A and B are shown apart, each in its own frame.
Chain A
Amino acid sequence: MIIKILGSGCPNCKTLERRAQQALEEMNLSAEIVEVRDFREIAAYGIMHTPGLVIDEKVVSAGNVPKLEEIKSLITANMGSV
């Protein structure tokens, strides 16, 4: 599984990254977390507000930082789709 954090390094993007990391640890899952800062790449995902959360190439949230529990259920729902 690859989790991408889309954002320009804003404080919210950092929070999202930490929270995604924590969700993975608590779920005993291993995944690669990639930070995407390039605006071309971010735009290609079709999002207009950062931070964006992408699980296995699917945008699952944009413009806000989901709560830990929400991230967990997003991971469960989108896991193994690739």
Chain B
Amino acid sequence: MLRTKLRRDALAFVAAVSILYWFLQPSADFVVSLLPLEHGSRLAGTVSFFVFEAPKVLLLLLIVVFVIGIVRSYFSPEKTRRLLAKRSPLVGNVMGGTLGIVTPFCSCSAVPLFIGFIEAGVPLGATFSFLIAAPMINEVAAVLLFGLFGWRTALIYVSTGLFIAIAAGFVIGKLKLERYVEEWVYSVKAADPMAEGRKDFDDRIRYGFTAVRDIVGRVWPYVLAGIAVGAGIHGYVPQDFMASFMGKSAWWAVPAAVIVGVPLYSNAAGIIPIVQALLEKGASLGTALAFMMAVVGLSFPETIILRKVLKLQLIAVFVGVVAAGIIIVGYLFNFIY
């Protein structure tokens, strides 16, 4: 198992992060005790929140992004489309949504990916299940939810995201909207994909470290900014401030959260600490979840880029069906909790 230097490095990395995580609470308490803060004051609350939460989330991110990176090295868009080609409705949607979580995906490649799927005979519905799940169920978001709310909320997020992807893809497939894909897409004759080299476990570890550099390297400022805003709300916004307009009693809160959330474009990392703060001050879980999913799942740039291969009608159906799914999930959670 530990035959190569890289494998030992990987183990050392995981061990180092775990040890730091283990000592986080005492070290954070120690740092806070060194600061000239009045105990129990608003500022003290804000600062100790930040000093504990920020490193905690960053450490969790390092580990999870590394592990997901290794998992993703077993998947590729080429393999995924082979698995999805000519699948019957429901099965295709379930597989499309699930593979959307584990296949490496960047929304900047949404168009070539769409063309590649359609060209290989992947049904439109399964393609959409994939395209909805891939950005919506995001490992950074899952980590933040796990770190800040616990595993139940993280699980709720992943399973409802998957459910929306499957259901929305199924509906889009049933509506027979193939004619709203730009005609030229069907006439693309693509060359055979480049042969994939064989990967050994060292390559997968390298892939994991690259993912850590790319993803954590890109999102850490947003994470810190988000937690800082969250810490500010934690310390300064009065309890139940949000309850009046983001609480359960306001029936319009869920659709309003989605309408506000769709045009907002942020990565998952920046939005979740804010959602945490909202929840803490009395916003209900369904409303906060709907807001987050609308921001993360329906991104404006991706929709615009998809216009190159989809006619306006299909874009409208796509956004409409996903938004409806998010609203239903929001109400459902407000109803349950």
Which of A49, A59, A61 interacts with B104 by CB under 8 Å? A49
The reply to whether B109 and A50 form a contact with Cβ atoms under 8 Å apart is yes
Interface flag for B188 (CB, 8 Å): yes
Q: List residues 22-79 of chain A with CB under 8 A from any CB of chain B.
A: 39-40, 42-50, 59-64
CA A42 to CA B193, docked complex, whole Å: 12
Interface flag for B192 (CB, 8 Å): yes
For B111, the chain A residues whose CB sits under 8 A away are: 8, 39
Interface flag for A82 (CB, 8 Å): no
Interface flag for B108 (CB, 8 Å): yes
Flag A1-38 by CB within 8 Å of B: 1 or 0 each.
00000011010100000000000000000000000000
The reply to whether B108 and A43 form a contact with Cβ atoms under 8 Å apart is no
For B116, the chain A residues whose CB sits under 8 A away are: 43, 46-48
Flag B239-282 by CB within 8 Å of A: 1 or 0 each.
00000000000000000000000000000000000000000000
Interface flag for B56 (CB, 8 Å): no
Interface flag for B174 (CB, 8 Å): no
How many chain A residues sit at the interface, stated as a range, is 20 to 34
For B108, the chain A residues whose CB sits under 8 A away are: 7-8, 10, 12, 50
The reply to whether A40 and B78 form a contact with Cβ atoms under 8 Å apart is no
Nearest chain A residue, comparing its CB with the CB of B109 = A49
CA A45 to CA B119, docked complex, whole Å: 12
The reply to whether A46 and B191 form a contact with Cβ atoms under 8 Å apart is yes
Flag B99-120 by CB within 8 Å of A: 1 or 0 each.
0000010101101110111010
For B81, the chain A residues whose CB sits under 8 A away are: 48
Which of A8, A49, A64 interacts with B113 by CB under 8 Å? A49
> B-side binding surface: helix, strand, loop or mixed?
helix
The reply to whether A45 and B305 form a contact with Cβ atoms under 8 Å apart is no
For A39, the chain B residues whose CB sits under 8 A away are: 111-112, 115, 308-309
Which of A12, A42, A60, A61 interacts with B112 by CB under 8 Å? A42
For A44, the chain B residues whose CB sits under 8 A away are: 188-191
Interface flag for B30 (CB, 8 Å): no
The reply to whether A49 and B309 form a contact with Cβ atoms under 8 Å apart is no
Q: List residues 31-71 of chain B with CB under 8 A from any CB of chain A.
A: none
Interface flag for B2 (CB, 8 Å): no
The reply to whether A46 and B194 form a contact with Cβ atoms under 8 Å apart is yes
- Expressed in whole angstroms, the minimum distance between the Cβ of A80 and any Cβ of chain B is 20
Nearest chain A residue, comparing its CB with the CB of B81 = A48
For B113, the chain A residues whose CB sits under 8 A away are: 48-49
The reply to whether B188 and A47 form a contact with Cβ atoms under 8 Å apart is no
- Expressed in whole angstroms, the minimum distance between the Cβ of B115 and any Cβ of chain A is 4
The winner among B111, B112, B117, B190 for most chain A CB atoms within 10 A is B112
The reply to whether B109 and A59 form a contact with Cβ atoms under 8 Å apart is no
Nearest chain B residue, comparing its CB with the CB of A59 = B194
For A7, the chain B residues whose CB sits under 8 A away are: 108
- Expressed in whole angstroms, the minimum distance between the Cβ of A25 and any Cβ of chain B is 26
For B192, the chain A residues whose CB sits under 8 A away are: 46
The reply to whether B305 and A47 form a contact with Cβ atoms under 8 Å apart is no
For B106, the chain A residues whose CB sits under 8 A away are: 49
Nearest chain A residue, comparing its CB with the CB of B184 = A40
Flag B108-146 by CB within 8 Å of A: 1 or 0 each.
110111011101000000000000000000000000000
Which chain A residues have a beta carbon within 8 Å of chain B's beta carbons?
Answer: 7-8, 10, 12, 39-40, 42-50, 59-64
Which chain B residues have a beta carbon within 8 Å of chain A's beta carbons?
Answer: 77-78, 81, 104, 106, 108-109, 111-113, 115-117, 119, 184, 188-194, 210, 305, 308-309
A-B contact pairs, 6 of them (CB 8 A): A39-B111, A43-B190, A49-B77, A49-B113, A59-B191, A62-B194
